[in-house]
Each structure stands twice: as structure tokens, then as C-alpha cells.
Structure 1
Amino acid sequence: MSKTTANKPKLVQDDPWLEPYTEEINGRISRFQSALKEIESASGSLVDFAGAYKEMGLHLDKRKKRWVYKEWAPEAHSLHLVGEFNHWNRESHPLSRGEGGIWEISLPEEELTENSLFKVQVVGNNGTWDRLPAYARLVEQDPETHLFSAVALNEKAFRWGDKSFSSKKQKKQPIIYEGHVGMGSEEAKVGSYREFADDILPRIKSLGYNTVQLMAIAEHPYYGSFGYHVSNFFAPSSRFGNPNDFKYLVNKAHKLDLAIVIDLVHSHAVKNLAEGINEFDGSDHQYFHAGGRGNHDAWDSKLFNYGKWEVKQFLLSNVRYWMEEYHVDGFRFDGITSLMYLHHGDHVSFDHYDKYFVDLVDWDALSYLQLANTLAHEINPEAITIAEDMSGMPGLCRPVKEGGLGFDFRLQMGIPDFWIKYLKHKNDEDWNVQELWSVMTNRRYQERSIAYAESHDQAIVGDKTVAFWLMDKEMYWHMSKEGENLIIDRGIALHKMIRLFTMSLGGEGYLNFMGNEFGHPEWIDFPREGNNWSYQHARRQWSLADAEYLKYHYLKDFDAAMIDVISQHKTLTVNPAEQLNLDEVNNTIIFKRGDLIFVFNFHPENAIPAYQFWVPEEGDYKIILSSDDPEYGGFNRVNTKMVYTTNEEQKLSIYLTNRTALVFQKVKKKKKK
């Protein structure tokens, strides 16, 4: 590899450790430029190339008054359109094969009834199968047979009311509420798009979040997959309603000044033949790599061939589709560690830079991500793209022209893992404040990240939420305000501290999964045979947070107050945080970020009168947030009305109570008249 080059990309200029990989990083740029040039030469522009969804699949040509159905199936022997319109006759409506393996059929408007069910019969080397169109916009499951069919949509124009909405503010400082529509109801059932819009979005708004990240929107045959095993990439899940219902949700979010980001699963696809696109034309290499390379054994799914022209068009069209048809403001790109490396990150330690640039990197996949980010930001310059990557790929959130992949943010996946490790394996008195500081501030130069204290995965895959690790079964019996319990007291105190510490120090954005803000007491368990198909644990008990006689609302109210302080002071837009005091004896961390000073005493016992620490500016300071306030379940030991004045050494002297977080703001002097 080249150690020196006359043409150093900006990514290398900013990070000398990357200099040995200058050639590889320049290769990223040149491969992207070549791919883009090829696309523009063939289609005119990247946006036009990504417009395949307008042509493929089933559409009603209102001018010609005819239905037109197109499907790409290059190695298929024959295709027939079947459905309710022809009584599922598998011979009467053959498709004609055209250039590039695209099959087509045209029907009079009156022959195919709107909202009727249909499929396409494909005869290929793998036999004869009734398949769902690859570009199907809605599929529905039969409640008795459990089989899915596509729905013929003559989509009526939706009356959008979000023309003035802009996600510019959210992109600067995203404070994200991650939700799952089906789990949004308190009833033991699958919630709907409209219920989520009417009942949950106002809750999210009232807490102060500015962005909603929705999981499991694209259709998936198994509800319990949390949307990770996508079968129909262009179909919002019919479990929650129809396409206009989802548009209603997005429209209402925008009216509430909330941005909508959806989980985009382009890292793999469900392997099902009855529902998905696997072996659609009878081969194992139409959308996916052939043979073993096309299988993700750990996920039991299929892997896309990102270097293939039609696959790139399919996936990029999917990006444009969600943005244009549903007005979503961005994407959480799921599982891209698997996408970027041929080993998919399985049992690999990313302990050397060779792992990012030399060893088993999928260059086609990296180019695809660059194209996808470029496309999203061409369609909407204020789009928010977030990468879920556990490898720490350098340049992930740097512009493509600088050698990066073009994401706006990366998820700080190490932070929730760190907190769970601490809560599982360390006594409170053994918490290491040096390690706490290091984990929260360890992120790549000029790459913005989203911090979060806990992930949905920790509750879904048999683990526990932070609240449950802190308080466990005591939550079932001792969350009434009438009773006292030391475990609950500790849990409430640390739950608040962990969240504020993570939000204020861990990134340039923040994320919370729905219900965790008030310490939702139960794990997530989707209906399955093992629980008698129960929805008991696939819902959210909002009434717990609303009940004034329970302590859950302390956590909810603190969450709202924390977000209000961070939002008003634009704290996450300021970097880096300035460490003021790291006290290992008293497990205390004090730092300044923006115009605020944050004080965290994690010690289980040490409460110190007249605790002194230096501040960068002399003057008067006041407490604008205290986790010890009784309205947040604290013990009212801190005087929040008091004005704190620096001494001759430019130090503040405070009562530092144990298991307490305080936020100070400098008092502005009144101007003389």
C-alpha cells in the first residue's frame, strides 16, 4: 500500500493515522465517481436512475386507462399474472419478455379491480412458484392461510399538509424517540399507524423529542423479527394499516414539527420464497450473491450483490421511494457492519486499521452506501442518515468527496453495551470515572454520533432494560409513592444520571426507545408459540407513566426536563466537552459543554458539603436542573434557589450530594440603564 501520495483526501489530512491507507481511501472516492458517472451516462442523473419504482411493478396508466405490470426476472422461463381478477387462472395472462429480462403485461382498467389481490406465477429452474412482485406497494396476509398476496393499488392523491416542514433543526441536534408502531398500543394487540399518530406522537412531542425513528415499517412476514427480515421493500407493513394510514402518520408528525426517520434494512433480506425476492427468477443470483456468499448464516437471510446494476437500482429506488412517496426525512441504515465486510463482522475484532481498508472489505457495498447517501441528500439536503455500525469504520460520517461514506451520524453502539456491562458486573463503589469519561468521549474526529443509554435489542433478545437491571422485580411491588425501598431509590437516581450523562457527553444526538424514558418494567416478547401467541409483552404500558401515585412519572418528567435543557442550550451542537474535574475518590465528573456545566456524583455514599471545583469563567452560577429535586423522585438536598459565586481561585463551592446530577448555568449580568 502507498504510504505517501500527492493527493491526500481530506479524511487523511485530518487523521495522520490514516496516511498509510491514502491509496485505499482515494480508491473509495474514485470507485464512487466511476459508479456515479456510469449511472449518469445511462440515466441522466442519480435521481432519475433511482426512479425505477415509477415503472416497475403494477401501475394504472390513467391516460391510457390501462394497468401495466413490469417485472425483472432475467432467468425465468415464463411469468403469468394471476389473481382475483382472473380467478387465479395460471394460463390466461402471460407476460411478454422484453429487453434486459424485463417482463410486461398490459390490462384494460376495468379488468383489474382496485384493491383486488394478485400475484405473479414464475416458472424457473427452481420450479413453479406464485410470487409477490418485487416492487409491490402493499401486501396483505390471509388470516386463515397466513399467505401473503399483493394488492392492486390505484393510489389516490393524499392531501399532504407538510409543505412548510423542514428537518434542518432536527439535523443539527437530533433528539430521537425510537418507536415501533405495533407495540405502541397499551392494549394487547397490534397497534395501527393512525393510533400511533393520534396517541403516541403527541406524547413524543410533549417530552421534547424532535425526531421519531420508526422500526419495522417495510413488510416482513414474521412479526417477531422486529422488521429486520424484510420481504417487500416497497410495502409499508399492512399489519398497521394501509399506505395512506402511514402517510397520515408522517403528515401528523410534520405538523407537530417532528421529523420521521425509518429503519432501512438494505444489509440483507428474508430468504423466504413465498414472500420475498429470493430466487425470484429461479436462480440464486438474481438479487443476491450466488452460493455461500449470498447467505448470512448467523441471520438466516440473503445478502445483496451491491455491484450488480439492477440491484443498485432496486435499492436506490427504494431510498427515493420512501422519501418521495411517504415524505420520510431520513433513514437508520440497519446492520451495515454486515454489509461493509465479507466476514459481516462475525467474530472479528476491529483492532487494526487493516480491518477497515484491506481485510475482506466489500468495496461494492461501500460504493453503494456512498450512492445511497448522495441520493438521499440530493432529494432532500436536510435528510438525516444514520449508520448502525459496530466496527468503527473511519470516515463513515464524512462527506464522500473527503473519502467518507456520507452519513450524517453513526450510532454509538458501544455506550449501551458499556452501561449493561457496568450494571451486570460492577458494584457501585467500583465505577471508574476515568472509564466513564473515556467511553462517552471516544468518537472519531469530525464524525457526529448518536448516543443512547440502552437499545431495544437489550430487551428483545432476552436481556433487560437499564431500569430492570437497576430495580428488577422490586418494580412490580414498590413503585408506589406511598412506600419506600432502597433498591427503587438507587434505581431511580442512577436511571436519571445515566441518561443525562449519556445525552450530555456521549454524542451530537440522542436516542431513546419508547417507554424506556419512564423505566418501562417489562421485556419485549413478540407473540410466538412459546408464549401462546400473547401480546402481553409486545405493548407499552403508558398508564404507568401517567399515574401520579406511581414513581414512573418521576423518570418521565426528568426525561422531559433534561431534554428541555439540552434543547434550549443547543448543547449537542458544541464540541468538545471540556473536562473540569475528575475525582476518583468521590466518583465525580464535572465538565463544561457549551454554556452549561454538568456535575455528576456517582458515589453511592459520599455527600460532601463545600465541594470546590474550578470553572472557566468567574461570576455567578445557578442550578437549572437537579436530579435530586423531589419532583423527579429526589430527596431535595440541593438548594436550587441559591446563587453560587466563584471565589478568588475561580472555583465554585457546592453541596455535592451522592448519586446526583446537577446542571449549572452562568447568570448573565443585567445591563446598566
Structure 2
Amino acid sequence: MGKSKTVRKKTKPYEIGELDQYLFGQGTHYEIYKKLGAHRVTVGGKEGIYFAVWAPNARRVAVVGDFNGWNFEKNYMERQGEIGIYTCFIPGVKSGDLYKFCIETAQGKRIFKADPFANYAELRPGTASRVTDISHLVWTDEAWMKGRREWDNKKSPLSVYEVHMGSWMRHPDGENEGFYTYRQFAREIVKYVKDMGYTHVELMGIAEHPFDGSWGYQVTGYYAPTSRYGTPEDFAYMINYLHRNRVGVILDWVPAHFPRDAHGLSLFDGTPVFEYADPRKGEHPEWGTKVFDYGKPEVQNFLIANALFWIEHYHADGLRVDAVASMLYLDYGKEEGQWIPNKLGGNQNLEAVAFFKHLNSVVLGRNPGTMMIAEESTAWPKVTGAPEDGGLGFSLKWNMGWMHDFTEYMKLDPLFRKNAHYQMSFSIEYAYSEDYILVLSHDEVVHLKRSMINKMPGKGFDKFANLKVAYAFMMGHPGKKLLFMGQEFAQLREWSEERELDWFLLAEEPHQQIQKFYKDLLHLYKRNKALYELDDEPAGFEWINKDDTFRSIFSFVRHSKEGKKNLLFVCNFTPVERSDYRVGVPRRKQYKLVLNSDEKEYGGAGEERPVVYKAEKKECDGRVYSFAYPLPGYGAAIFEF
């Protein structure tokens, strides 16, 4: 007798087959977004939408929407295998139709959920998903994408403009609630950032979210660009336009938590599907949100495929991963009794650690030249270390320690800065423990923390002079750069998502002048390799004098790899003029003044001074050679040699 054969059902390309289910169950179906969700297909000569959703503990699932009168009895879905994916094909469904999944729980209750894999959503306050087809987006950014594969963030300039689209600039006539569309924003932001000299924009709040006040950090539609600013095609146009103008795009990404909104991921099929079941692991009491279950392969797959979706399908150049610390520590933001230790008795979330290693290995391995950036606020080791060496595998880490010390120092009355001098030099001691990006982000200019200009002591001129020397010091410090919108022209008010930036301030000279100063710093940064190509190596930085405590002056050198164009920084953090100031230098060369904060165009006194200074054999700062420079109060001077 012949052997019996196992007959496998042959699946069509759009169907959820056994291999799809297996890979999803292993957490390695990296393009699962092409199968789950709502996709346009033709079946038996009829065009329609193939719906698929993961609801493992549901009793029954149906699709409801505009096309069936929201009647849950019209289009029940079929369960595929043990993993709990439900599918159905509905002919005649049109692009733009609204839909949800009606899920009957194990207890017989009917709940209505938006599609976790939807590519477009109804504009809030609506909560339905919207049928769309994003399989034919138009891209003309081939040159950028080709160059990206060879790009190395460690050796390249990276100056980021952090932007909240809805409040950067608004229509005066209030059209579309005053929001710029993705297309309008693309054209305006390109003009601005190219003129200013930024290399990248980082966009807050892009994934669909129901509440404006969450700034996009409580997501209900992980696979949908928010409909506040237009369609998915409009969103793709924006990224394409920025790329064609040689501006990179980083998106904020939130794998740490999600809101409890009834239409979202919370208790998706009546049970904890996406979140940990135990509330001591599955809830953030501080934020009132749910925590993803990083131990479930399917949840890992949902998130990793989502990261790839933004980078591969929408051409994003990197993701800034929000709230990494809250994922790494089981007791983050929790009191005793609100959390449970791991199997080793510690407070580390071992499943989240494994998730990060998997995530970063896959995303960066498949997409050379892209970035995964950790917003991580603790001393967790090797955040940017290689996973095979025990690291988490991120490209860059936000330097929150530097940010805290820097802003606290700058808030001080100059009379007391001598007592906190070490706060400004301490960051160099750990500057090479990770690959850092220096950040002055939206978090620092909200919740009564004050805008950057209003952190500065004094009044009027003193505030602006303080902020100029602060920005010069930041630009010279090792690490990539990020500044939140509005702070480049010294916005006075704290940021609010409810209004546009105070652009009217640019009618006033002091705001024009500090914007010009920051712009010139950015262009100096971009054209001088000394400021970026050795960011991750001690050879790129050298203190001249970090111990001038009484005078609150710092001097240091940034070295280029070939030593051809090095930069000497001198920063005076008091209003006291040092007309007899002398600085030690590494060698007997000519030193060319390339940026002086005291120029009239920057709001300074504009006193004439030589451009070139010749070092002489005169000991200073422990150096054989030095030169004299009349250093103004709050003066920042940068010399090239």
C-alpha cells in the first residue's frame, strides 16, 4: 500500500496561511501588516476587502461598517487555526468606508474595536478605522534612499529639529482646525530647516491617537498616520518631499504603553491580549495606561513589524523610542506592592530587554543607515552596545544626565555658578560610555518648567546673552544635537499643543538675533568635521581649562580626524568682561575667530576685534603656548586652527 499524504490547503497570496500563523506565533513575521488588517483583493472576479484580525480568546468576530449598516450579523469572520486569527472577504467595500471589528467575548458580551493594523482612521472624535489602500504609494526619493544605505550617524552631522506638527504653524483662517496638511507642512518646514541648517526633523504624534493633549504618546492606531493632517498618501508625500530636499525624518514611536480607550488595544477581545494580564506588570499607575506584554511573541511581532512598517513602507530614517526606562524597569513609577520582581528577584523586565535586542537587530540589520534612538533616562548599561555583547542595540541614546546638569547650571544666578562648575564638565567623564544625542526637548519646556529663554537668570539682555553662550557650549560638547521647536528663536511662553509657536516674536530684534546666532551655529556644525566625526571617541575632545571655577569660564578643543580644521571654544558664563583674558592652546598656530557671540548681528556690543590671533610662547592653562583675547561678559568665541 502506498503511504498516505498530508494534503495542505493551498493558500492564495492574500490569505492567512499556516506559515503566516507559524511565523506570527514565533514573533518573526516581520511583514505581518501586509496580511492582518484590511487589504484590497480580487476574489472570484469580485473586488473587495480581505479583513484579518488577531483575537485569540474571542467567541466570534464580525466586521461591521458603512457597507453593511453596522450590522454584526452580516459579515462573520472565520477562525484560522489555533493562533486565533479571524478572516473574511467582503466584496464591494470602497476606499474611505468606515469599519470596526465586533468581537463577542467568551462571556457573550459584544465589544467594538478599531483595527489594530488599520492604515487610516476616522478623524477624532470618531473612533472607527477607514478602508484605504497604501500598496501603491508614489516615491521619487531613490537618491536619498540609496545614500542612506551608506550613511553612518556616528561619523556624520546630526542636528535635529523636534516638531509637533499641529502647533508648529497654523492657518490664520482656521481652515482644517488651523492645522497644516502633511503636504503644506512639508513645503513650509523644508524652507525653514534648510535655511536654519538642521539635518533632520523629528516628528511628534504621528501615529493615530484620540486625544490632542497626549501629544501623540497614547496611541490607538499604530499603523495609521494621524488623519488630523491628511491621508496616508499625503503623509508619504511629506516624507518624499523632505527626502528630495535632503532632510531626514525621525518619527516618535511609543512601544511602552497604550491607552485604555474602549476602541483601542486594551482588553482587545475581552481579555488582556496586548497587555500583561497581571496589573502589577500590565498597568502604569502614573500614566493610567496599559503596558505591552513583551513576553508574547505575537505582541513582539506587532511592535517589531510596526517599526519596520514606518521605516520600510514609509521611508522614515529613524525612530525615537519613547519611555525606554519605563519598559526596562518593572518598578518604574510604581510604589511598593504595585510591581512584581522578575524570576531572578530583580526589578529588570527581562522580556523587554530581549524585545529590544530583537527589535534593534532586525530593524538596523535590514535597514543600514537608519537609526533607533532611545529616550532612556537611567544608567542602564550598554543601551547603544551591541546585542551580542550584552547591549540593547540602539544607535543613539538621549543624554538626559547632560540635559539635567546643563539646565540646572544655566538657571543659576551667575554669582553662584562657581559653586556648581563641575555640573558642566562632569558629562565629559561619561561622554563615551554610550553614543549620545544632546537633547533640549519638548519635555523641558512644559509643565511649569519654563521655556529655554525663561530658564535663564536676569532680565532682557542678560537672558538672551545667557542662552547664546549656553547654545554655543552645547554645540561644542560631544554628541549629536536636538532642539525643540521655538527654542531657536527664544519663545517666551511654555509650549502648548493648542496654539502655534509665537512667530510674532520675530518682529523683535532680540529674537531675530538669537535665531541668527543659532542658525550660524548649526551651519558651523555642519561644515566642520571636528564637531561630529569623532563624537564617540575621546580623541575628538580636549579640555584646555575646565577648572576656571572662580571666573566660570570653560575652554576646550574639538579635534577633527585629520587635524586640519580644529575648533577652540571659549565660553564665559558670567556678565564680567575679561579684557585681559588669555587662553592656552595646543600648538603654535594662528587661530581664526569664526564665531563671536558679541557681534552686533547677534545682539552684542559689536566691538571691532582682530580675526586672526597668533599663539605665542607664553605659559597659560598648563600649556606652553597661548594668546590673548578680550572676552566679553557672557561671551562665546569659537576659533579655527
Same fold (TM over 0.5): yes
Scaled by the length of structure 1, the TM-score of the pair is 0.83
Q: Does 1:324 align with 2:312?
A: yes
State the SS of the aligned residue for 1:655. coil
How far did residue 523 of structure 1 move? 1.6
How far did residue 423 of structure 1 move? 4.6
User: What code does the residue aligned with 1:457 have?
Assistant: D
Q: Distance in 1 between matches of 2:237 and 2:505?
A: 28
Q: Given the alignment, which residue of 439, 451, 463 partners 1:465?
A: 451
The question of whether the paired residues in 2 share the 8 Å contact of 1:231 and 1:277 is answered with yes
- The residue number in structure 2 matching 1:475 is none
Assess, with a 3 A threshold, how the Cα gap between structure 1 residues 444 and 625 changes in structure 2: closer, same or farther: closer
Q: Does 1:101 align with 2:61?
A: no
- The residue number in structure 2 matching 1:658 is 633
Q: Given the alignment, which residue of 571, 579, 598 partners 1:609?
A: 579
- The residue number in structure 2 matching 1:641 is 611
The question of whether the paired residues in 2 share the 8 Å contact of 1:181 and 1:192 is answered with no
Q: Does 1:450 align with 2:437?
A: yes
Q: Distance in 1 between matches of 2:72 and 2:158?
A: 51
How far did residue 540 of structure 1 move? 1.5
Matches within 5 A, 1:156-555: 157-165=136-144, 166-167=147-148, 168=151, 172-187=156-171, 189-274=178-263, 276-344=264-332, 359-424=346-411, 426-432=412-418, 434-443=421-430, 445-452=432-439, 454-470=440-456, 487-505=459-477, 507-526=478-497, 535=498, 538-545=499-506, 547=507, 549-555=508-514
Assess, with a 3 A threshold, how the Cα gap between structure 1 residues 583 and 423 changes in structure 2: closer, same or farther: closer
Q: Given the alignment, which residue of 87, 94, 105 partners 2:69?
A: 87
Matches within 5 A, 1:35-114: 43=23, 49-62=29-42, 65-99=47-81, 100-108=83-91, 111-114=92-95
Assess, with a 3 A threshold, how the Cα gap between structure 1 residues 552 and 170 changes in structure 2: closer, same or farther: farther
Assess, with a 3 A threshold, how the Cα gap between structure 1 residues 525 and 613 changes in structure 2: closer, same or farther: closer
The question of whether the paired residues in 2 share the 8 Å contact of 1:82 and 1:120 is answered with yes
How far did residue 446 of structure 1 move? 4.6
The question of whether the paired residues in 1 share the 8 Å contact of 2:67 and 2:97 is answered with yes
Assess, with a 3 A threshold, how the Cα gap between structure 1 residues 86 and 279 changes in structure 2: closer, same or farther: same
The question of whether the paired residues in 2 share the 8 Å contact of 1:194 and 1:245 is answered with yes
- The residue number in structure 2 matching 1:579 is 543
Question: Percent same amino acid among aligned pairs?
Answer: 27
How far did residue 281 of structure 1 move? 0.9
How far did residue 565 of structure 1 move? 1.4
State the SS of the aligned residue for 2:580. strand
User: What code does the residue aligned with 1:400 have?
Assistant: P
The question of whether the paired residues in 2 share the 8 Å contact of 1:47 and 1:375 is answered with no
The question of whether the paired residues in 2 share the 8 Å contact of 1:49 and 1:313 is answered with yes
State the SS of the aligned residue for 1:373. helix
User: What code does the residue aligned with 2:415 have?
Assistant: E
Q: Does 1:115 align with 2:106?
A: no
Runs of 4+ in 1 over 6 A off after TM superposition: 44-48
Which sits farther off after the overlay, 618-627 or 181-190? 181-190
How far did residue 266 of structure 1 move? 0.2
Instruction: Structure 1 unaligned segments of length 5 or more: list them.
Output: 1-38, 349-353, 472-485, 527-534, 667-673
Which sits farther off after the overlay, 359-368 or 331-340? 359-368
The question of whether the paired residues in 1 share the 8 Å contact of 2:24 and 2:301 is answered with no
State the SS of the aligned residue for 1:431. helix
How far did residue 44 of structure 1 move? 11
Scaled by the length of structure 2, the TM-score of the pair is 0.87
- The residue number in structure 2 matching 1:132 is 114
How far did residue 524 of structure 1 move? 2.2
State the SS of the aligned residue for 1:277. coil
Assess, with a 3 A threshold, how the Cα gap between structure 1 residues 286 and 494 changes in structure 2: closer, same or farther: closer
Which sits farther off after the overlay, 133-142 or 224-233? 133-142
State the SS of the aligned residue for 1:337. helix
User: What code does the residue aligned with 1:96 have?
Assistant: E
Q: Distance in 1 between matches of 2:403 and 2:48?
A: 53
Q: Distance in 1 between matches of 2:25 and 2:203?
A: 30
The question of whether the paired residues in 2 share the 8 Å contact of 1:623 and 1:663 is answered with yes
State the SS of the aligned residue for 2:593. strand
How far did residue 567 of structure 1 move? 1.7
- The residue number in structure 2 matching 1:625 is 595
Q: Distance in 1 between matches of 2:591 and 2:20?
A: 58
User: What code does the residue aligned with 1:580 have?
Assistant: I
- The residue number in structure 1 matching 2:127 is 148
- How many residues matched? 586
Q: Distance in 1 between matches of 2:54 and 2:135?
A: 26
Q: Distance in 1 between matches of 2:526 and 2:345?
A: 41
Q: Does 1:562 align with 2:524?
A: no
Q: Distance in 1 between matches of 2:401 and 2:422?
A: 13
Matches within 5 A, 1:11-30: none
How far did residue 385 of structure 1 move? 1.2
User: What code does the residue aligned with 2:80 have?
Assistant: G
